[in-house]
């Protein structure tokens, strides 16, 4: 479990931005539902400086009230897919990482748990088609090292 000292939200964000490349961070929170943030190669959150402050506030809410963080990292590798219009196209391969926020800590979601959670429709319970451009990953160990 992550038990960082100081501002937990800022420390978690600092870990997230060290994951290489462009990322989309999705927060699923008890109070506010789903909210997404883009993080560029340089670690900038969104296109306005206030987006970083909003993200930090939302992470703090997740630490207090519970939530899930999904990190979708865009890699330089590409794979060919067939889109909804039956056309071939090349898309970046994405690495997906997950964390649970609760009790003022973060807890890793394993790649096995991620794969399983993304393979079932939450409303119907039916299996979902595997995304060929997604690889599920374990959170890097340094997220849990003491500072």
Q: Across the strands, what pairs with 29?
A: 33, 67
- Residue 106 near residue 1, CB atoms below 8 Å: yes
Which is it for the CA torsion 43, 45, 47, 52, positive or negative? negative
Q: Can you give the pLDDT at residue 146?
A: 58
Digit-coded pLDDT (tens) for 42-91: 999 999 999 999 999 999 999 999 999 999 999 999 999 888 899 999 99
* Domain ranges within the chain, ordered by starting residue: 8-144
Residues 6+ apart with CB under 8 A from 126: 120
**Residue 19 has what DSSP assignment?**
S
Beta bridge partners of 90: 80
Instruction: Kindly report, residue by residue over 132-142, the tens digit of the pLDDT.
Output: 889 999 999 98
């Amino acid at each position: 479990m992550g038990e960082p000292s100081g501002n937990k939200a800022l420390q978690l964000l600092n870990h997230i931005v060290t994951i290489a490349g462009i990322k989309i961070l999705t927060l699923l929170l008890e109070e506010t539902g789903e909210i997404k943030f883009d993080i560029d190669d340089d670690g900038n959150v969104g296109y306005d400086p206030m987006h970083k402050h909003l993200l930090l506030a939302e992470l703090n809410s997740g630490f207090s009230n519970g939530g899930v963080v999904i990190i979708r990292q865009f890699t330089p590798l590409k794979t060919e897919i067939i889109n909804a219009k039956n056309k071939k196209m090349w898309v970046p391969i994405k690495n997906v990482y997950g964390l649970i926020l609760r009790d003022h800590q973060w807890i890793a979601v394993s790649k096995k748990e991620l794969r399983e959670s993304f393979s079932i429709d939450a409303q119907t319970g039916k299996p979902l088609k595997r995304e060929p451009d997604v690889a599920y990953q374990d959170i890097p160990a340094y997220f849990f090292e003491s500072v």
